[in-house]
Each structure stands twice: as C-alpha cells, then as structure tokens.
Amino acid sequence: MSLAVARKPLRADAARNVDKIITAARQCFREFGPEVPLQTIAATAGVGPATLFRNFSDKEELVLAALNRQLRLTVDPVVDGALADIDAAAGLLRVMEALMAAASDDANLLGAVAGRRELLTGITGSLMESMGVLLVRGQGQGSLRADISMTDMFRLLAMLIGVVDTMEPGSHAWRRPLALIEDAIRSVRPSRPLPVHVPLPAASLAGQQPI
C-alpha cells in the first residue's frame, strides 16, 4: 500500500486540511496511544469526520501518511548527508540512527500497524535503496563486512524496529541494540562501551523479570 506517497496534488485549502489532520494524528497517537479513534483526530485537527475520510480512507492510510511525512522531514536529510560522506559505514550508521529516533518518537503510530508492517514498504523503498548504496560502498572501503547482503540489512532493520515495541515511546533504549548491530556489520569491531542498559518497561514484562 503506497497511498501515503502517491497522493494527487491538492488545492491549497485541501492541502492545509491534510497537514492539520496529519499533525493532529501525531499528537493524538502520542497522547492517547495506537487505538485513538479517528473522530478524536478530526476534532483535534478542527475538521469534520467527513473531511478526514475524504482524504484518508482508513486509519492505516493516515498512519502511513504521518510516518511518511516524518521520514521525509527527519531521515531523508540524513540520507543525503550520508551519501555525500566519504565514510560510507559512518553514513549508514547515521541513517539507521535517524530511522530509529523517528521510530521511537512515533512508536504509537507504528503500534497502530503492528502485525502489518509490510505496509511500511511503500514509504521506505527509497530509503532501503540508499542504504544499499552505502552498504556496497562501505564493503568496497573495507569498513563493512563483505559477506553482508541487503537481505541481511532488511532483516536487521526489521529486528531493530521491533525494539520499539519493548520500550517506552520516545526512549533511547534502541541505542544499545543499534550498537550491537554495528558490532555485527563492521569489519572491525568498534572499541567503545555499549550505550547504557535500559530495563524493559513494566507493560512489556508479562510476568517476567528483566535480566
């Protein structure tokens, strides 16, 4: 599903409504969680439900539009800088860091498509292509393991995105798993301590004790 990135040009007033709805969606998902009703989002945006549904057929389409906007605003500039950087491995890690920061900030948006994250493919295609370029460059420079494929990177990213489900929204708990991924993909393991350990939130323990 790529409706979030294949939207027709809108009139100025319609574009303003879309912007208000997406902004309200991010606010409401942060405040009320993944199950927030669309009517609440419409009210927060100051538009009627009919206006919301005229622009977004369902919650999934709205979630993808909101996630797409944040990727374009926060991750795409990092990608551009990484592609211009002479150190491809460092650039690749910065992109992964920016992606995880965005995922953490909008954890409740991701929660709204939990179990259907294949929908994210439509808004991450160009990002994965750029990461592929950086991977190949880094391997050519000898800074990334030569035996890593883009399939490996795709699965590693999926694992990292899954970390968001085990932490509080907005937390930096993802930094430690990302450092472990860096240790795994670099040709020479970095000589630095791991980021601080962050315990699992109580809601994620399900009767288990954190290690």
Q: What is the DSSP string of 68-102?
A: HHHIIIIIHHHHHHHHH-S-HHHHHHHHHHHHHHH
Extract the tokens encoding 17. 């409504």
User: Given this model, what pLDDT does residue 169 score?
Assistant: 79
Residues 109 and 138 in one domain: yes
More confident residue, 203 or 88: 88
Residue 111, pLDDT score: 85
Rounded Cα gap, residues 66 and 112, in angstroms: 12
DSSP 24-63: HHHHHHHHH-TT--HHHHHHHHT--HHHHHHH-SSHHHHH
Higher pLDDT, 131 or 126: 131
State the CATH number of the domain containing residue 71. Answer: 1.10.357.10
Residues 78 and 119 in one domain: yes
Contact 105, 70 (CB under 8 A): yes
**16 and 30 belong to one structural domain:** yes
- The CATH number of residue 46's host domain is 1.10.10
| CA 131/CA 83 separation, integer angstroms | 9
Is residue 162 one of the residues assigned to a domain? Answer: yes
94 and 25 within one domain: no
Give the pLDDT mean for 28-48: 94
Task: Give mean pLDDT, residues 155-167.
Answer: 90
